[in-house]
Structure 1
Amino acid sequence: MKIGRIGWLLLVLCVFTSPALAARLPNRLDDIPIYPGAVRDPELEELYRESAYYDETVVFSDVRAYTVNAIVDDVLRFYLDYTEATEGWPGIDAEDVEPGEMVGPWYSVTFYPDRIFEHIVEYGRVMNEGNWIRPIKPPN
């Protein structure tokens, strides 16, 4: 019987301490680290705000846009390391998360479409220079 009580005690301790041991995610935009060398772009923020649509369920939103002179791979690695995100679908949809429940950050790897390697200008602004990803070296 004592083994059963110890087992239940360990289970309760695991349940209550697991959120404390999980990676802490920021609650405010100001708490999110900015990639070194990134420069805030108010013009791009305004362009996004003008084109974004939010339904009535959105209580709060804010947009911060930055430009950075780096390859996307390096920026992505910076934020993956910070958030300790795991690869793959977490197995739960956002609408199924109960109050007080937390799903850690996750990501999914996909292939880039060919169009991202093109030079794209929209409304007089360079949207894609075509060289923002590290090229894959062909095998010898």
Structure 2
Amino acid sequence: MNLKPTSINPTVTHRVQRFGFIKIVALSGLFATGALALAYDPQVTEYKLATPLHAPAQNAVAAMALQENTGTAVVRLDGFTLDVNFKYNPVEENYGVPGSDFMNAEILDLAVDQAYDNSGNEISDFTDFNDHLTINAMLVAHILQNRMLEGV
């Protein structure tokens, strides 16, 4: 049992090669950056606005008359006056608390009968989908604010 233990030479086995590691990291970083730069195409990602380019600045409901499930209103939208007919559905809603029941309105159909400019001259219908959404929201807000569904 004359085995001689083998000694470990730390200068040979535990040598840290820092400069070789730094070179490899730097080269792989440059390679990855170059690959990403070649793959990037700025024309692929073209973003468009989700909101309309023109939102009405002035809007108001000047007059409104309700029947059973239909109504007529005079709406002012950016200085223009619109005569509209609409069909609505009264909906019972609440805030999740007992005693908070109220009647809400849901606009089912909206038709612009006539449109007038600031001078009162009749013009053709210029409204689009976004204008109709705005008009629907204005009509519902006017109905709720004036509690017009309680009497119908």
Q: Choose between structure 1 and 2 for higher RCO, CA contacts under 8 A separated by at least 6 residues.
A: 1
Common topology (TM > 0.5): no
Greater Rg over alpha carbons, structure = 2
* Between structures 1 and 2, the one with greater strand share: 2
TM-score (norm 1): 0.23
TM-score (norm 2): 0.22
